[in-house]
């Protein structure tokens, strides 16, 4: 019998999560929870305004929301005894978020897997593996060029912006530049929008360039990529991915939803998880296949 999962929110990541669940042999999507729920069936799945409307309570929910909304929403579902997986991507806040959710999760016999996208997420696992190979050399992660979903969502929320697309451009040794294509709403000048954007933590740490365009949507592209690199006197290690950003994020989320059903109550990141908990099939099957 398949375990029941609900997708909270939608967007591209949510749609890909529904599709990934449909192909799973051990998980199934029991519904989509969103504020603007309608009668439309999405990929064969019914929509609900809230979890109390669902005829069957899901064992785990996958949050497909802006990162700034994830910790509070995760706490809400954990308080109901429902495990949670999210792709929270504010790196500097991950540790404190996990610690805060850990108390709620344990008190309600549920599990949370935080920052379960591709970075943070699958790239985090690669960085941990590289550290195990040799703990003495620095590791650099270079992103792009490609559209950052998280930065684009934040850019769109900035005062004076009607729509925006944020492109990540790699520089060197883990440093990046943010190029944001902005469609103004007429309430702010380009210079004011720049200052508003720069004031947000998402854009406070990297070089930022904004370019005003007639239609920001023309610059949307789901492709992205990354390279995790470690180099020392006796070792060079590289991991490179070119991805469909929301699709890859969704696949990691689904794998971590599976893990959330197999681990003790508490809050975790991907580097806390035994790898075998992410995989469909039994421990025996995966050891024989992969080890």
pLDDT digits (tens, 9 = 90+) for 56-114: 999 999 999 999 999 999 999 999 999 999 999 988 899 999 999 999 999 999 999 99
| Secondary-structure percent of the chain, ordered helix, strand, coil, rounded to 5 | 40, 30, 35
**Mean pLDDT, to the nearest integer, of 6-24?**
96
For residue 48, how many other CB atoms are within 10 A of its CB? Answer: 18
Residue 200 lies in a domain: yes
Q: Tell me how many domains the chain contains.
A: 2
CATH of the domain at 54: 3.40.50.720
Q: Per the annotation, does 64 bind a ligand? A: yes
Residue 167: which domain range? 138-231
CATH of the domain at 177: 3.30.360.10
| Residue 160 and residue 207 share a domain | yes
Q: Per the annotation, does 26 bind a ligand? A: no
Taking the C-alpha atoms of residue 13 and residue 64, their distance in angstroms, rounded to an integer, is 6
Q: Per the annotation, does 264 bind a ligand? A: no
Residue 128 lies in a domain: no
| Residue 13 and residue 98 share a domain | yes
Q: Per the annotation, does 87 bind a ligand? A: yes
Q: Given this model, what pLDDT does residue 111 score?
A: 99
Chain centroid offset of residue 63 CA: 9
Q: Per the annotation, does 256 bind a ligand? A: no
Query: pLDDT digits over 244-275, tens only?
Result: 999 999 999 999 999 999 999 999 999 999 99
| Residue 31 and residue 117 share a domain | yes
Taking the C-alpha atoms of residue 48 and residue 44, their distance in angstroms, rounded to an integer, is 13
Taking the C-alpha atoms of residue 101 and residue 7, their distance in angstroms, rounded to an integer, is 19
Q: What is the pTM of this model?
A: 0.85
pLDDT at 132 over 90: yes
| Residue 166 and residue 271 share a domain | no
Residue 167 lies in a domain: yes
Class of residue 109 by CB neighbours under 10 A (exposed 0-12, middle 13-18, buried 19+): exposed
pLDDT at 193 over 90: yes
| Residue 198 and residue 62 share a domain | no
Q: Per the annotation, does 166 bind a ligand? A: no
Q: Does residue 101 contact residue 112 with C-beta atoms inside 8 Å?
A: yes
Q: Per the annotation, does 250 bind a ligand? A: no
Q: Given this model, what pLDDT does residue 176 score?
A: 84
Q: Per the annotation, does 66 bind a ligand? A: yes
**Mean pLDDT, to the nearest integer, of 140-155?**
87
**Mean pLDDT, to the nearest integer, of 23-42?**
91
Look at residues 192, 209, 231 and tell me which one is the last residue of a structural domain.
231
Q: Per the annotation, does 124 bind a ligand? A: no
Q: Given this model, what pLDDT does residue 221 score?
A: 81
Q: Which of 241, 43, 49, 214 is nearest to 141 (CA)?
A: 241
Residue 28 lies in a domain: yes
Q: Per the annotation, does 89 bind a ligand? A: yes
| Residue 112 and residue 166 share a domain | no
Residue 126 vs residues 24, 168, 272: alpha-carbon distances, Å: 24, 20, 13
Q: Per the annotation, does 128 bind a ligand? A: no
Q: Per the annotation, does 123 bind a ligand? A: no
**Mean pLDDT, to the nearest integer, of 10-17?**
94
Look at residues 186, 203, 231 and tell me which one is the last residue of a structural domain.
231
Q: Given this model, what pLDDT does residue 31 score?
A: 97
Q: Per the annotation, does 178 bind a ligand? A: yes
| Residue 249 and residue 215 share a domain | no
What token pair was written down for 244? 């469909």
Q: Tell me the pLDDT band of 229, cut-offs 50, 70 and 90.
A: very high
Residue 216 lies in a domain: yes
Which residues make Cβ contacts (< 8 Å) with residue 59, sequence separation at least 6? 3, 4, 5, 82, 83, 261
On average, the pLDDT of the chain sits at 94
Q: Given this model, what pLDDT does residue 148 score?
A: 86
Alpha helix segments (H runs only) across the chain: 11-23, 70-79, 94-107, 122-133, 149-157, 190-198, 245-260, 283-290
Q: Per the annotation, does 224 bind a ligand? A: yes
Look at residues 204, 231, 258 and tell me which one is the last residue of a structural domain.
231
Q: Per the annotation, does 63 bind a ligand? A: no
Query: pLDDT digits over 148-170, tens only?
Result: 888 998 999 999 999 999 998 88
**Mean pLDDT, to the nearest integer, of 233-238?**
93
Class of residue 122 by CB neighbours under 10 A (exposed 0-12, middle 13-18, buried 19+): buried
Give the helix/strand (H/E) hosting 179: strand 176-184
Q: Tell me the pLDDT band of 171, cut-offs 50, 70 and 90.
A: confident
Residue 236 lies in a domain: no
Taking the C-alpha atoms of residue 129 and residue 122, their distance in angstroms, rounded to an integer, is 11
Q: Given this model, what pLDDT does residue 144 score?
A: 81
């Amino acid at each position: 019998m398949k375990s029941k999962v609900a997708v909270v929110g939608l967007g591209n990541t949510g749609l890909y999560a529904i599709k990934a669940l449909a192909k799973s042999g051990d998980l199934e999507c029991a519904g989509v929870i969103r504020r603007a729920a309608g009668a439309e069936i999405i990929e064969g799945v019914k929509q609900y305004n809230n979890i109390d409307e669902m005829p069957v309570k899901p064992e785990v929910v996958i949050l497909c929301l802006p990162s700034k909304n994830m910790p509070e929403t995760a706490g809400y579902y954990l308080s109901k005894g429902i495990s949670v997986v999210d792709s929270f991507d504010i790196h500097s806040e991950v540790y404190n978020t996990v610690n805060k959710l850990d108390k709620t999760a344990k008190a309600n016999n549920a599990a949370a897997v935080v920052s379960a996208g591709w970075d943070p997420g699958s790239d985090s696992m690669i960085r941990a593996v590289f550290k195990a190979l040799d703990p003495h050399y620095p590791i650099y992660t270079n992103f792009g060029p490609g559209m950052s979903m998280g930065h684009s969502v934040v850019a769109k929320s900035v005062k004076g912006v009607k729509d925006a697309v944020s492109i990540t451009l790699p520089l060197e040794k883990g440093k990046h530049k943010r190029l944001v294509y902005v469609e103004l709403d007429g309430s702010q000048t380009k210079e004011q929008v720049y200052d508003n954007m720069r004031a947000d933590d998402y854009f406070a740490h990297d070089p930022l360039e904004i370019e005003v365009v007639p239609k920001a949507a023309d610059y949307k592209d789901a492709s992205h990529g990354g390279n995790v690199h470690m180099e020392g006197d006796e070792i060079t290690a590289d991991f490179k991915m070119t991805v469909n950003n929301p699709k890859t994020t969704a696949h990691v989320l689904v794998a971590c939803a599976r893990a959330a059903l197999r681990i003790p109550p508490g809050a975790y990141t991907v580097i806390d998880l035994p790898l075998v908990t992410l995989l469909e099939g039994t421990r025996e099957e995966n050891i024989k296949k992969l080890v």
